[in-house]
Structure formats: C-alpha cells, structure tokens
Amino acid sequence: MSRASASRRRAGTLGRIRRRLAPVAFHLLVWSLVLVVLVPLLWPVMMTLNEVRIETLINRGVVWWLEGVEFAAFVGTLLFTDIPRYLVNSVVVATATGVISAALAATAAYGYDRFEFPGRRVAIGSLLLFPMVPQTVVAIPLYLLFLDTPLFDTRLGLVIAYVAFTLPFTVWLLIPYFSRIPSWLDEAALVDGATRFGAFVRIVLPVAKPGLAAAFVLAWILSYNEFLFAVMLIDSPAKRTLPVGITYTFADSGVISVVASAPMLLIFGLLWFFFLRGGVRQYDK
C-alpha cells in the first residue's frame, strides 16, 4: 500500500513539474523563432548605424555599440540621392497594381467558381501556363508594343504590364477562397431583389476580405520587386522604380536594404487584421 501511494505521489509530482515546464518550453520555442525571424531584419539596421565586425560586437557588448551609433549614412542617402524618388515611384506603381489586380482577380475568381460554361476547366488550368512562360519572352514584344504608344515611359504603362503579369497569380489564389464561400449567400440576396453584381459587391466581397488582402499583398510584392519590365518600359530617370534606380545610385547598401524593406513591413502592418481573421467564416445553413 505504501509503495502504491509513493508511486502516486511520484506521478503527481512529475505531472506538476511537467505542467510548469510546458509553458516555459513553449515560450522558449516561440521567442527562439521570433529571434530567428528578426535577426535578418535587425542586422542590416545595426550595421548601417554602426558597422562593426560581429566578433567585436560580441566581445565588447551592445552598450559599446550604442556609443558609436550615427545616422550620417541614412541622412546622406535620403537627402542627397534619388532613392526617395525611386521609392515613391515603386510604392505608387505597386499599390496601383495591387488594387487593380486584386479587383480584377476577385471578379474572375467569382465567375470561375459560380458559373458553369464551356471550357471552364481549361480556362482555369491555363492560368498556370502564364507563369511558366519566361519573362524575357514577354518583355521584348511588350516593349515593341508600348514603344509606339503613349504608354511607353509612363507609370500607367508599367502598371498595365504589372497587372497582366500578376493577374494569373491572384486569380489562382482567389479561386479556392471563393469556392469556400457558400453560394446560398448570394442566392439569398438575389431572392431579396439584389442584382448579381449587387450580391457580389455587398455580400461576397465583405466575406472575402482576407483573401482580397492576400491577393493585394501578392501582387504588391511581385510588382514592387520586379526589375525587367521596369528597366525596359521606363526610360526617364525620374520615373525609375527602386529596383532599377539602385543600380544607378552609389549609396550604402545597408541603408538601401532598410529603406526598401520599410514599405513592405508597413503593408503587412496595415493588413495584419485581415490575415489574423484567416479563413472564411463557417455559416450555418
């Protein structure tokens, strides 16, 4: 009997220790992953403010590093180079591309999901063919086409090219998302007197906000980082985007990487609410 009670006490003690250590292990794992993610973001910033060897930083400590921090590289890059102008051009073009691409992709994905028409499966599958075509194959004919039109050397022409480039990706992203939205929602709106377009705008789109946010971010990142179309379709130095402009600018590479990353972090910060909402809400029939 004493052995059984001792065994139970031992098991209870081990259970209490396990329950107390589990949250500690979980937080250690989470913060280790956070550190792994943050180090590549923080390291360029640290080296830009005070460039030292990592061995020196480890030996002398963060306090010594803070004493040598200076913002001369940031000030020189932002005030005496064209990097801010290139950054504004990239943000404007990428934002316009993201909005237009997400809007067109929403209508296309809704049509693919809700309507049956001849060649529907072939049309959906053909979306995968466009990303398989090398970008250089498309860029040269597009350059020759734009060269004889007012769209050449304009931001509008670059936005049109980027929308055509990103649309297959955003449509393919939104088709599974719209398929998870129950069709009886828009059918109920049609019964109540709404038009098909009204049901799409007032009922379906509000439910699809997380998917639209993901499509916008995907198109934004693809166009923000794109180089080939930008270098071929833009000729004026004042209209260059950041990926092209940095090849013509002599500046601190660490500062450029930090400045170029700032808009992307801002976009994710503004849209984090929609990403946290995640999937489509489950509606009871």
AA letter at 251: A
pLDDT at 161: 93
Would you say 235 and 153 are in contact if contact means Cβ atoms under 8 Å apart? yes
Structure tokens, 237: 């130095």
Structural domains of the chain sorted by starting position, each given as residue range(s) with its CATH number in brackets: 2-70 (no CATH), 81-277 (1.10.3720.10)
Between CA 155 and CA 11 the distance in angstroms is 70
Classify 252 in phi/psi space as left (phi over 0), alpha (psi -120 to 50) or beta: beta
Number of H helices, E strands in the chain: 16, 0
pLDDT at 47 over 50: yes
Please name the amino acid found at residue 220.
W
- The larger pLDDT score, comparing residue 31 to residue 3, is at 31
* Residue 259 pLDDT: 86
pLDDT at 105: 93
**3-class SS of residue 182:** coil
Q: Compare 87 and 63 and report the one with higher pLDDT.
A: 87
Contacts of 278 (CB under 8 A, 6+ apart): 210
* pLDDT band with cut points at 50, 70 and 90 for residue 65: low
Token look-up 């050397």 returns: 153
Cα–Cα distances (Å) from 59 to 9, 47, 63, 202, 264, in that order, read: 48, 16, 11, 61, 34
* Residues 6+ positions from 127 with CB-CB distance below 8 Å: 168, 171, 172
Q: What is the mean pLDDT of the chain?
A: 82
How crowded is residue 44: how many other Cβ atoms within 10 Å of its Cβ?
A: 17
Rounded-to-integer distance, Cα 164 and Cα 167, Å: 5
Helix, strand, coil share of the chain (percent; to 5): 80, 0, 20
Using the predicted structure, report yes or no on whether residue 56 has a pLDDT greater than 70. no
Other residues' Cβ atoms within 10 Å of the Cβ of residue 93:
25
Q: Which amino acid is at 233?
A: L
Q: Decide: 230 and 160 in contact? Cβ < 8 Å.
A: no
Whole-angstrom Cα distance, residue 161 to residue 159?
A: 5
**Residues above pLDDT 70, as percent of the chain:** 82
Q: Which amino acid is at 145?
A: L
Please give the average per-residue pLDDT across 220-238, as a whole number.
92
Q: Which residue has the higher pLDDT, 180 or 71?
A: 180
- Kindly tell me if the per-residue pLDDT of 32 is higher than 60: yes
Q: Output the pTM of the full model.
A: 0.79
Which has the closest alpha carbon to 180: 197, 204, 202? 204
Residue type, 70: E
Quick: pLDDT tens for 9-28: 665 566 666 777 777 788 88
